[in-house]
Amino acid sequence: MSAEINEEKYFKMLRESAVQRYGEERTKIIEPSIRDLARSLAVISEYPLAMEEEPDFYG
Amino acid sequence: MAEPCSLYLTEMITQIRRKKLSPLNLMESVLKRIDSLDPLIQAWVTIDRKAIQEEAARHADEISRGKMRGPLHGIPIGVKDIFYTAGMKTTAGSKVMENFIPPFDSTAVHRLKKAGAIVLGKTATTEFAHADPAPTRNPWNLDHTPGGSSSGSAAAVATCMCPAALGSQTGGSVLRPAAYCGVVGLKPTYGRISRHGVFPFSWTLDHVGFFTRSVADAAILLGVLAGHDPQDLSTAQEPVPDYNRSGKLARKPLRIGVVRAFYQQNSEEQVWSHTEKIMAKLEKAGARILEVKMPPSFAAVQDAHRIIMRAEGAAFHEKLFEKNLAKYRPKLRDLIETGLLIPGVDYLRAQKIKRLFRRHMEAVMKNYDCLLTPATSSPAPPGLSSTGNPWFQVPWSLSGLPTINLPSGMSQEGLPLGIQLIGTAFGEGKLLTVARWCEKVLQVSCSPRVGLSPINKQGY
């Protein structure tokens, strides 16, 4: 999946979730931040990680 | 004789030990300094004058009876207003907590007091250490931001209102204000100093750090604060060395790795040319300056950090936010609302990248005594509506590696510039040794003449 398509997929998902939680009016206000977040989620979802890689919390 | 408030921490300690300076006189001097400057700077949010004067008198009395509580006996220290202080208001810079009086001291404050320090007062912070600014102004130019989130601590140390102050860093909240205000700022390794009793922002990114005016002063404070705390699961069991001993560098010449990738392209021209001049100066003094090839995971660190910080910030605030929505300021509200949308799987992927990046950096660091970057992309930006951009510090907050800001000169506008040195995990001893060497080579001592031009401007 291209980076743009992936970002759009995240943006759509986050936006729908925001409308459900906060309503359309508030969602419009935070839309630039939703866009930034979608971009970041797309970047990390494309990053190649080994299957064995574990998350880190207090390391 | 110099005003007591303008002495370095190490000098205050020596003079108190030799009974040349009384904690009472020192307290009077810093309070006088605060009275004259804080109406302009607005670094402090709470100072209980009666209590601290009584405390200083108690410390003076103990000295007369031959008792010293510890290395910081009688030294006034500032504390960012997100650290719990028993019986003293801790507002986190927010209306949500405006009347909160903690029933106990945070571990960091407890350790300071045990070492003999006097909590001078609470310093201004952005709301819950995020991005909604504190009223604090930059002492070098009142129309510029001092940086944040530890705004008050950095500005107070820069203006000799206290010799040292606690801060915290989740993105860039120690190194950035340190650079903007022209002071030393140390963010130790994640887990080196307890976060118990500190309002969290993001549990897996939060670091306790602090501000001083010299590297030697930072070494003293780190020795007091570092160590395992059973009340904070993230603190490490690593032994705490004597940071005050100027350790010898195993490798000669000193190998300093310069991170050009990302930093050069995102720095203002004057910042990068200043950094190159610093590199040349260090090289001339005997260091080997080598270019660092950053690992592939470096490309994802800003995004991973953003996701972790938003998700964890939202998780901490969720319930408080529901009850106090109207009291939250816009930037934190935005962070919480977007953070609540992050899917769990994506949050965990960001944590995987965090671990991978730290592992990659451990391998990179084997070739160097420390890494070097400009501390910030520009000098303190104009305006008070933003505290600047944390992106130059974010990789090291994510990796948990220790970093220190060293004031390194002045910008064209007469604002301080700094270099950021990065060490190995739990390698603060070595980092401080390298920083001491750089400090000696660079000979930069910043001291603002508040609201006017600097006293001893030393540009390169």
Model ipTM over 0.85: yes
Mean pLDDT of B68-89: 98
Q: What is the mean pLDDT of residues B96-105?
A: 98
Residue range B354-388, pLDDT digits in tens: 999 999 999 999 999 999 999 999 999 999 999 99
Of the pLDDT bands very low, low, confident and very high (cuts 50, 70, 90), residue B245 is confident
Indicate which residue of B29, B94, B149, B202 is catalytic. Answer: B149
**pLDDT by position in tens, chain A (length 59):** 678 899 999 999 999 999 999 999 999 999 999 999 999 999 999 999 999 999 988 87
Average pLDDT value over all residues in chain B? 95
Check whether B143 has a pLDDT greater than 60.
yes
The residue-averaged pLDDT of B133-149 equals 97
Which of B175, B394, B390 shows the shortest CA–CA distance to B298?
Answer: B394
B273 is catalytic: no
Residue B286: enclosing H or E segment and its boundaries?
Answer: none
**Above 50 in pLDDT, residue B452?**
no
Q: For residues B117 and B120, give the distance between their C-alpha atoms in angstroms, rounded to a whole number.
A: 9
Which residues does chain A have within 8 Å of residue B352's beta carbon, measured at their own beta carbons?
49, 53-56
* Section B441-449 average pLDDT: 83
pLDDT at residue B14 tops 60: yes
From B13-27, B122-136, B246-260, the region with the lowest mean pLDDT:
B246-260
**CB-based contact B129:B241 (threshold 8 Å):** no
| The pLDDT of residue B329 | 98
The model carries a pTM of 0.96
As a whole number of angstroms, the distance between CA B118 and CA B50 comes to 13
Average pLDDT over residues B181-191: 98
Residue B244's H or E segment, with its range, is none
Q: Does residue B448 contact residue B456 with C-beta atoms inside 8 Å?
A: no
Amino acid at position B306, single letter: R
Percentage of residues in chain B having pLDDT higher than 70: 96
Q: What is the mean pLDDT of residues B439-452?
A: 78
Judge whether B110 and B102 are in contact, CB under 8 Å: no
Q: What pLDDT, on a 0 to 100 scale, did the predictor assign at position B455?
A: 38
Q: For B264-313, how does the pLDDT look when each residue is reduced to its tens digit (9 = 90+)?
A: 999 999 999 999 999 999 999 999 999 999 999 999 999 999 999 999 99
Q: What are phi and psi of B137, to 5 degrees?
A: -115, 155
Quick check: B435 and B249 in contact, CB under 8 A? no
Interface of A with B in 1-59 (CB under 8 A): 14, 17-18, 21-22, 26, 30, 33-34, 36-37, 39-41, 43-45, 47, 49, 53-59
Res B448: pLDDT? 78
Q: Using a CB-CB distance cutoff of 8 angstroms, which residues of chain A are in contact with residue B233?
A: 58
Q: Which domains does chain B have, with CATH numbers?
A: 78-295+356-460 (3.90.1300.10)
Q: How confident is the model at residue B460 (pLDDT cuts 50, 70, 90)?
A: very low
Banded pLDDT at B437 (limits 50, 70, 90): very high
- How far is the first Cα of chain B from the last one, in angstroms, to the nearest whole number? 30
Distance CA B197, CA B207 (A): 13
Q: What is residue B457's predicted lDDT score, i.e. its pLDDT? A: 38
Instruction: Mutation target for A interface from B341, B345, B357, B389: give the one with most A CBs within 10 A.
Output: B341
